[in-house]
Amino acid sequence: MGLLLGDVVPDFEQESTHGRIRFHDWIGESWAVLFSHPKDFTPVCTTELGAVARLRAEFEKRHTKVIAVSVDTVEDHLGWIRDIEETQGVELTYPILADADRTVSDAYQMIHPKASDSLTVRCVFVIDHHKRLRASITYPASTGRAFGEILRVIDSLQLTDRYKVATPVDWQNGADVIVVPALSDEAARPLFPKGWTAVKPYLRVTPQPNR
């Protein structure tokens, strides 16, 4: 069985384009997104790495570090970064882990043998400041990821950690949320002074508390 939500994620020490990284130390008190790529010098990955670089300020607003991993060497990564920066028009400022020995890929079960016995699928791991896995998303190698959705997931996780709410379908930061069903009306009143609309007794819609 792979990593489960709430598990402390595996620590590791691995070379990267920013030097040797001990993962838990690198995360520190931040949140983190670890995302894998099947191989260097591949077209979909090139667009993804550029997209994440352009979202640097958005991740920073959420106190979230980003780190990529591919099964190739640091030397290959450095050559690939030049291509990414040239074709995507952005500076790559976050690290790419070198995982030629599959240390990270194996620890996080990123290689799915029925898809490929040597290349990683597109995994995304959202990790909180306690080093616990909060969300994971897996895509096939042929499908590029929507990193706006990953930011939305982080927004939801950080909001629901702070308030007794859940986020509904297609929720975006700033929109109405749902009072958790476990909270009685009596207990909810002091927590939600703006009140709520009870669509059903178990479905109470309220303005986002921190807005």
Neighbouring CB atoms inside 10 A of 96's CB total: 24
Interacting residues of 82 by C-beta distance below 8 A, sequence separation 6+: none
Tell me how many helices (H) and strands (E) the chain has. 7, 11
Interacting residues of 140 by C-beta distance below 8 A, sequence separation 6+: 115, 121, 122
Is 123 labeled as catalytic in the residue annotation?
no
Which one from 21, 45, 66, 71 is the annotated catalytic residue? 45
Point out which residues pair with 31 in neighbouring strands: 64
**Sequence-ordered alpha helix ranges (H) in the chain:** 23-27, 43-54, 56-61, 74-88, 103-107, 147-162, 185-188
Catalytic center residues: 45
